[in-house]
Amino acid sequence: MTESFAHLLVDVDGPVAVVTVHRPAALNALHAATIAELQMAFEALGANPSIRAIVLTGSGPKAFVAGADIKEMSVLDPLGMDAYARAGQRLCATIETLGTPVIAAVNGFALGGGNELAMACTLRIAADTARFGQPEIKLGLMPGFGGTQRLARLVGQGRALHMLLTGEPIDAQEAWRIGLVNRVVPAAEVLAAARATAAAIAALAPVAARLIIEAVVRGGGMPLADAVRLESALFGLVASTDDMREGTRAFVEKRPAEFKGH
Q: Kindly list the catalytic residues.
A: 116, 136
> Which residue, 149, 141, 140, 142, is CA-closest to 120?
149
CA–CA distance, 29 with 38 (Å, rounded to integer): 12
Edge-first strand listing for the sheet containing 16-21? 8-13, 16-21, 53-58, 102-106, 123-127, 183-185
CA–CA distance, 174 with 179 (Å, rounded to integer): 8
Contact call for residues 95 and 120 (beta carbons, < 8 A): yes
Supply the DSSP symbol for 8.
E
> Which residue, 199, 211, 201, is CA-closest to 239?
211
